[in-house]
Structure 1
Amino acid sequence: TPRACDDYWSEFRHCKSLWNFFHHYYAYGTFPSCQQWKEDYHNCKEWEKHRATEAKEALQRSERSRLEEQRKFTPVWKLRQDPPRDWHMPLNQEKPQDS
């Protein structure tokens, strides 16, 4: 399996936590859906106990879907390749204005 079954259960418990409910509602305006974490946990247990092929395949589909969802979001800031030219200057010092 991609993860230990306890990882899925921990994710489910975190998802159902009061803090996460408030955070998700504040950030997205909806309550989080935690059902997939619970299904993944049960599929993982089925795979561990009985080596059920359909449980393993469902778990793999869920992990692929989760990865695809993460790839949809692009970084907000452009990542730097090098430090800024004035990285050595104290933060409270005024930087000279380029003319």
Structure 2
Amino acid sequence: MAGGGSWRPPRSCEDYWWEWRHCRGLRHAFHHYYAHGQLPACARWRDDYTACRAWESARAAAAQEALCKSERARVEEKQKYAPVWTFRKSPPPDWYLPLEQDSPK
């Protein structure tokens, strides 16, 4: 976070605005409540939008720091969950054989 002249926010301000609007939408709220048992927390998107606009208008160092901290938290949150599927190191040994579609299971 050195120097404010060449730094740009990780996303455009319109992206933060769209994410906030999407998060507050009825369809997303219903899906999130069904999947997680609670309504989504949308305040972070609004705060990021406000910080992005503050950066664009006044190049505020606090806004830059807030955006960087928020994006880092988003990345860390995404990485704390293990992938659902285990990745293969190599293909199965019989990958080239035709599938047995006629055999009952």
TM-score normalised by L of structure 2 = 0.81
Could you say what the CA RMSD is over the residues aligned between the two structures, in angstroms? Answer: 1.7
Residue 17 of structure 2 aligns to which amino acid in structure 1? W
1:67 pairs, out of 62, 70, 75, with 75
Q: 1:19 to 1:87 in 2, by over 3 A?
A: farther
Q: CA deviation at 1:13?
A: 1.1
Equivalence map 1:4-43=2 (5 Å): 4-43=12-51
For 1:63 and 1:81, locate their aligned partners in 2 and report how far apart those are by CA, in whole Å: 31
Aligned length: 95
Instruction: Report SS of the residue matched to 2:85.
Output: coil
Q: Percent same amino acid among aligned pairs?
A: 49
- The answer for the alignment partner of 1:76 in structure 2 is 84
Shift of 1:86: 3.9
Q: Distance in 2 between matches of 1:38 and 1:79?
A: 36
Deviation at 1:77, TM superposition (A): 1.6
Could you tell me how far apart the structure 2 residues matched to 1:72 and 1:35 are?
Answer: 21
Ranges of 4+ aligned residues in structure 1 off by more than 3 Å:
85-88
CA–CA distance in structure 2, aligned partners of residues 64 and 30 of structure 1: 24
| Matched residue SS, 2:18 | helix
Q: Distance in 2 between matches of 1:10 and 1:37?
A: 9
Structure 2: runs of 5+ lacking an equivalent: 1-8
In 1, the alpha carbon distance for the partners of 2:93 and 2:18 equals 44
The change in CA–CA distance for 1:85 and 1:91 in structure 2 (over 3 A counts) is same
Q: What letter is aligned with 1:7?
A: D
In 2: Cα distance, 1:46 partner to 1:22 partner: 32
> Normalising to structure 1: TM-score of the pair?
0.86
